Amino acid sequence: METLAYPPIQPDSKVTKTEDEWRNTLSPEAFHILRQSGTERPFGDTYKQFNEQEAGTYHCAGCGALLFSSNEKFDSHCGWPSFYDPANAENVTTKRDVSGGMTRIEVNCAICEGHLGHVFEGEGFNTPTDQRYCINGAGLKFVPANR
């Protein structure tokens, strides 16, 4: 997960690019996750970074849209960054995902339509929403609050 010194400029409309443009602007891992609905391995470097990060905001690695905040983050011990609610709900969409032989709710960036992960409900976490947004860290950029 890349750490930025300053928040990225927030897009004011949909961001669309060709596959080649996305491939040229994203890291190979971010491209695989955001554009091909991939998943990073659990308990990897981005998960470790996430657990060490203090206050700040999480933005889409594809378009810079504000997605999540440290105010809603928690460690669910699942191996991926977890949030109980988006920081800006307008920038996050969900849809039914029946891939992999199971039914889940996929989470996407509303601005660039990048795949972020999945949201799960009713798992019994002690959070205000009882939701776990299980998000691939390589699809995010972190901006510390003190910057």
pLDDT, position 76: 94
**Among the listed residues 147, 145, 138, 135, the one whose alpha carbon sits nearest the alpha carbon of residue 74:** 135
- Mean predicted confidence (pLDDT) in 136-143: 96
Residue 73 has pLDDT above 90, yes or no: yes
Higher per-residue confidence, 43 vs 4 = 43
Residue among 63, 109, 112, 134 flagged as catalytic: 134
List strand residue ranges (DSSP E) for 47-100, in order. Answer: 56-60, 66-69, 73-74, 82-83, 92-97
pLDDT, position 133: 96
Active site residue 109: no
The model's pTM? 0.93
Domain ranges of the chain: 42-144
- Mean predicted confidence (pLDDT) in 20-32: 96
State residue 122 phi and psi, 5-degree precision: 70, 25
pLDDT, position 147: 58
Superfamily of domain 42-144: Peptide methionine sulfoxide reductase. (2.170.150.20)
